[in-house]
Amino acid sequence: MRWLGAAAGLAAIVTFYRAVVNANPTTVALTLLLFILFLAARWGLRYAIITSFAAGACYNFFFLPPIGHFTISDPQNVLALIVFLVTSVGASRMSNRIRQESMDARARQAELEVLYRLGRALLQTDELAHLTNSIPASVAIASGAKAVLFYLLDGDRVYLAGDWPVQLSSAELKELSHNPGIVSSASAQETMVPLRTGVRPRGVLIIRGTTLSHQSLDALGGLISISLDRASAVDEVTRAEAAKESERLRGLMLDSIAHELRTPLTSIKASVTTLLSSDLRPEVAHDLLTVIDEESDRLNRLVAQAVEMAQLDTQEVRMSFSPQQLSGLIDVALETYKTTLAGHPVTLSLSPNLPQVDADPVWIQKLLGNLLENAAKYSPAGAPIFVSADDRGTLIACSVADRGAGIDPMEQSLIFDKFYRARNRALHTPGTGMGLAICRAIAEAHGGAISVTSQPGNGSVFTFTLPRHTAP
């Protein structure tokens, strides 16, 4: 069809200048030259060169005297014909070279876009497990390959994307991983790209149905190797930081609990020593036994808080969510902590017709108990405590407000961290700094959140949210 098109175009030019417009030979030669350049740019060199000689023959036969003969009467026309042929062939070669370079540039641009898309996909995760799982699909999407097999020597693991009719054995994949360079199989349209970290092999990438050059495939393998190294390094740094943070928190926990344990242990030891060392009146003995009982309860709460904090940190807690009426949970918490709240009038303000929430009643009562205990602990004697709840659409909010010393604005974002205690409280009121951290962990485990609003000297308002129950 292209040969017919070239012949038809040449015939059209000759017919136009012979039958329609009577132009001089120079105009005809330039028109034929433009036609040949067009063929070279669009279809390639061979069409242009063959058409050049055919155009030279037509130019001689139809436009150079004597017209109708291939002989040339004027020696200058011989030179013109030779110049025409040389110019057309040379221009065709230059046009074809430009065309080829343009095609190569577009191909290189397409391959660079493939590497860019793959690099962007590999940089979206820092987790090594997720990265290794996503590599075959990312390579297939970026390169347009029909199927991709990714083999990792570490762990002898295989990851696939696409349809692989033949499964390779581990021995074959290990052998391919040690290849010195890229190997292509024309029959199966497969390319094996070994992956290396320095000189150490890491695995192999087998791509089926790709048209990428060896340079791009080599760059693709290097990109995957670098991504694996980066994810491994990030994973190691994360584990090291986690271990360091765990060690720091363990030290803080031991210091905090040891400090808080001294006071009740000292009281218990003194009371027991007094009971054992002398005969006491019954009322004095009763007072000492009461001290022992109260300090034992305090020790029990400290140990319980430490256990709860550890369970919430390691996600070993199994919560049982069910539809609960928040007003009922608040009533139970107030009854449980009535001794702690003695001397503090409690005002309850609940929105009418509050919907149910999805919650674990045991843990929500612990959350409420911690907030109520803090409100009583950090408020002066006789100061009121306010408990309220309202509907906020998909969430139900519950607030506990006090009229205590308040919290400095600079510390409000820190008080929910483990073992952190506000400076104006740590010196005067005992505590471990675990209560609010436990509250935050419980609220977040329920799909809610906890926040504080406070002004120094005017008290604080702690608000947590729980998801509204939706019938299935």
pLDDT on residue 240: 80
* 360 CB-near residues (< 8 Å, 6+ apart): 319, 320, 321, 322, 446
* 43 CB-near residues (< 8 Å, 6+ apart): 2, 6
Q: How many CB atoms lie within 10 A of CB 94?
A: 12
In tens digits, the chain (472 residues) has pLDDT values of 888 888 888 888 888 888 787 777 778 877 887 887 777 777 777 777 777 778 778 877 777 777 777 666 556 666 666 666 677 677 777 777 777 787 777 877 877 787 778 777 777 777 777 888 888 888 887 777 888 888 888 878 888 887 776 677 888 888 888 888 888 776 557 888 888 877 788 888 888 877 777 787 788 888 888 888 888 888 888 778 767 766 666 665 566 566 566 667 777 777 777 777 767 777 877 887 888 877 777 677 666 666 666 666 655 567 788 999 999 999 999 998 888 888 899 999 988 888 999 998 988 988 998 899 888 888 888 899 999 999 988 899 999 999 888 888 878 878 887 766 666 554 456 556 677 888 888 898 888 999 999 888 888 999 999 999 887 6
pLDDT on residue 80: 63
pLDDT on residue 171: 83
pLDDT on residue 379: 86
Residue with tokens 């940089």: 123
- Residue 247 tokens, joined: 């060690």
pLDDT on residue 74: 58
pLDDT on residue 424: 55
CB distance 418 to 249 below 8 Å: yes
pLDDT on residue 386: 93
User: Beta strands 200-208 and 190-197: pairing type?
Assistant: antiparallel
pLDDT on residue 426: 47
Predicted TM-score (pTM) of the model is 0.44
Sign of the dihedral through C-alpha 258, 259, 260, 263: positive
pLDDT on residue 416: 82
Domains of the chain: residue spans and CATH: 2-113 (no CATH), 125-237 (3.30.450.40), 245-313 (1.10.287.130), 322-467 (3.30.565.10)
Q: How far is residue 442's CA from residue 324's CA, in Å, rounded to a whole number? A: 16
Q: How distant, in Å, are the alpha carbons of 308, 326, 339 from that of 331? A: 23, 9, 14
